[in-house]
Amino acid sequence: MSTEDVPVIAIDGPSASGKGTVAQRVAEKLDFHYLDSGALYRLVALIAIRSRVNLANEMRLANIARDLNIKFLGQEIRLENENVTDLIRAEICGTTASKIAAYPQVRNALLDRQRAFCLYPGLVADGRDMCSVVFPNATFKIFLTASIESRVQRRYKQLIEKGINVRISDILRNILDRDACDMDRSVSPLLRDAGSGLLDTTLLTVTEVIDEVIKRYTEISTKNI
C-alpha cells in the first residue's frame, strides 16, 4: 500500500480546543498512528530556549527543526534520549512555538518529517494546518473549536493536574496571543480548510467528541469504498 492509499484523519483547531486529546484517543480506538504536529514546534522551541537562540534568526531555527533527534514512544516524547514530554507543555514553549511556526523555513523543514508519519493502517494528525497544507488530500478533515472560556478552563485544569501553578488571567492572555499569532501569520495560518467539517466542543465531553469524529469518519470512508 502506497502512502496515497493510507487513510488520514486530519484535525485542526486553535489552542485548547481539545484536538490533541481527541486525536490521540481516536488513533487508539482505530489502531492508527498519531501525529502531534504541535509537539514538533514545541521541541524546536525548547531547544531554542535552552540554547538562547535569537528568535529572529529564522535560518538557525530552521536548522534546529531539520536536525531534531527525537523519538515518539507511545505518549512519551524523547529529545536526545531525554524525556521532555512534560517540559514542552510549559506555556513558554507553547508561546515560543507559535512565534517559531510563523517562519516559512521552519515549516518547510518539518513538512517531510510530518508526512513521514503517514503509515499503514492509518494516521490521525492534529495541528493548525494538517487539513490545508500537510495532508490536503486527507480522507477526513475536521476543525475543532470551542468558546474562549471553555478553552481557558481546559488549559487551566491540564496545568493544575500537572502540578503547575498558574493564573487564569495569564492563561487567557497566552491563548489570545497564540490565536492572534497563529491566525495572522503569512504562511499556513490557522484557518478552517474549505473541505473540513466543523465541530464545536464547548458543551461536549471528550468521549462525545471522540464518538462524533469516528462517526463522521466512518460515514465518509464508507462512501469512498
The pTM score is 0.90
Write the Ramachandran bin of 76: left for phi over 0, alpha for psi from -120 to 50, otherwise beta.
beta
pLDDT digits (tens, 9 = 90+) for 145-176: 999 999 999 989 988 887 888 899 999 998 99
pLDDT (average), residues 57-64: 97
pLDDT (average), residues 128-134: 93
pLDDT band at 43 (very low <50, low <70, confident <90, very high): very high
Dist CA 38 CA 152 (whole Å): 18
Q: In this predicted model, which residue has the larger pLDDT, 130 or 74? A: 130
Q: For residue 40, which of 119, 120, 121, 98 has the smallest C-alpha distance? A: 98
Cell numbers placing 85: 514530554
pLDDT at 4 over 80: no
pLDDT digits (tens, 9 = 90+) for 175-200: 998 888 888 887 888 889 989 999 99
Provide the CATH number for the domain formed by 7-213 in this structure: 3.40.50.300
Sketch the domain layout of the chain as residue ranges: 7-213
